[in-house]
Amino acid sequence: MTQFFQQVVNGLSIGSVYALMAVGYSLVYSIMNFSNFAHGGVIMLGAYFGFYAMTLLKLPFLASFAVAALGTALLAVAIERIAYRPLRMRKAPFLYFIISAMGASIFLENIVIATIGPTFRTYPEVFARTPLSLWGLSIGRLDLIMFGVSALCLSGLVAFIELTRTGKAIRAASYNIKAAALMGVNTDRVVTTVFALGGLLAGVAGVFFGMKYTVYPQIGVITLKSFIAAVFGGLGSLPGAVLGSVILGTLETFVAGYLSSQFRDLIAFVILIGVLVFKPSGIMGKPTEDKA
């Protein structure tokens, strides 16, 4: 029974980081109705921003954390301005957005390989590796901090969307962006805010991912599992993205703990295929035609 609860704790830890990543996918999809595959590259650069802020600039952890989050927020906005806004102005088909997103993702990965190199890099030790013992469970200090910060960030995002004027504009645009524009909502500002929020959370997730594992240019491929979590929970639904991430993280740890770690990634793609076949809208998502 102790092993069971230990796997639950481990699953909640990794699931909370998946949630930070998945929310970025869901935010963009809720407004623009396409999957922003460049988000993985933003997460990857967030891990690098935090790493070099600590090692090259010698900044303390909190300052490095802030540099990474702000850096990825600006990067996400820049990607929107360069890769997506011209397509929005021309009212291009959504397929063009997906192609542009994939191109941006490949560009970010290869520019890092060309400039920094493909070498794996490890974050300096910030928190003691000695785990905490609680009720017979072994809880890593980093895992505990990851869960706490992720919960705080996601709660702040929900409060921002529910309580602020800009948040109300985001909710209005998520139902029908054309109708929102006719009602006086500045949709360009809404899109910029959504990308900035997604980028901010991507930086937080990138730092934690790099600290828990390692930093390398292909991190964006691994973070596709957060996209799977967003699809599982329901693209466009923030609660669905969080729920899907927690379920996926927990399932992965159970599969790795009770079967084999070789099946850990396999279960994610099995879930993706199952959702697309049996419930394309996900757990909490709505069919596209019912979105408005």
Mean of the per-residue pLDDT values of the chain: 87
What distance in Å separates the CA atoms of residue 144 and residue 123, rounded to the nearest whole number?
18
Give 92-129 pLDDT, tens digit per residue: 988 899 999 999 999 999 999 999 999 999 999 887 77
Q: List, as one string, the DSSP characters of 3-68.
A: HHHHHHHHHHHHHHHHHHHHHHHHHHHHHHSS--TTHHHHHHHHHHHHHHHHHTS---HHHHHHHH
Instruction: Say which residues have a Cβ less than 8 Å from residue 45's Cβ, sequence separation at least 6.
Output: 71, 72, 75, 108, 112, 206
What distance in Å separates the CA atoms of residue 102 and residue 94, rounded to the nearest whole number?
13
**Prediction pTM value:** 0.88
pLDDT range class, residue 45, cuts 50, 70, 90: very high
b (16+ CB within 10 A) / e for 242-279: bbbbbbbbbbbbbbbbeeeeeebeebbeebbeebeeee
Check pLDDT > 90 for residue 73. yes
Task: Fill in the DSSP letter of residue 289.
Answer: G
CA-CA distances (angstroms) from residue 272 to 101, 183, 234, 238, 269? 20, 37, 11, 18, 5
3-class SS of residue 137: strand
* Percent of the chain clearing pLDDT 70 (strictly above): 96
Least confident of 89-103, 200-214, 232-246: 232-246
What distance in Å separates the CA atoms of residue 4 and residue 11, rounded to the nearest whole number?
11
Task: Fill in the DSSP letter of residue 135.
Answer: T
Domain ranges, ordered by start, for the chain: 2-116+136-217
Strand partners, 138: 133
pLDDT of 285 reads: 67
pLDDT of 96 reads: 92
Burial tier of 56 (Cβ tally within 10 Å: 0-12, 13-18, 19+): exposed
What distance in Å separates the CA atoms of residue 228 and residue 68, rounded to the nearest whole number?
24
Give 257-286 pLDDT, tens digit per residue: 777 777 777 887 888 888 878 888 888 766
What distance in Å separates the CA atoms of residue 22 and residue 19, rounded to the nearest whole number?
5
What distance in Å separates the CA atoms of residue 99 and residue 110, rounded to the nearest whole number?
17
What distance in Å separates the CA atoms of residue 22 and residue 220, rounded to the nearest whole number?
13
What distance in Å separates the CA atoms of residue 48 and residue 207, rounded to the nearest whole number?
8
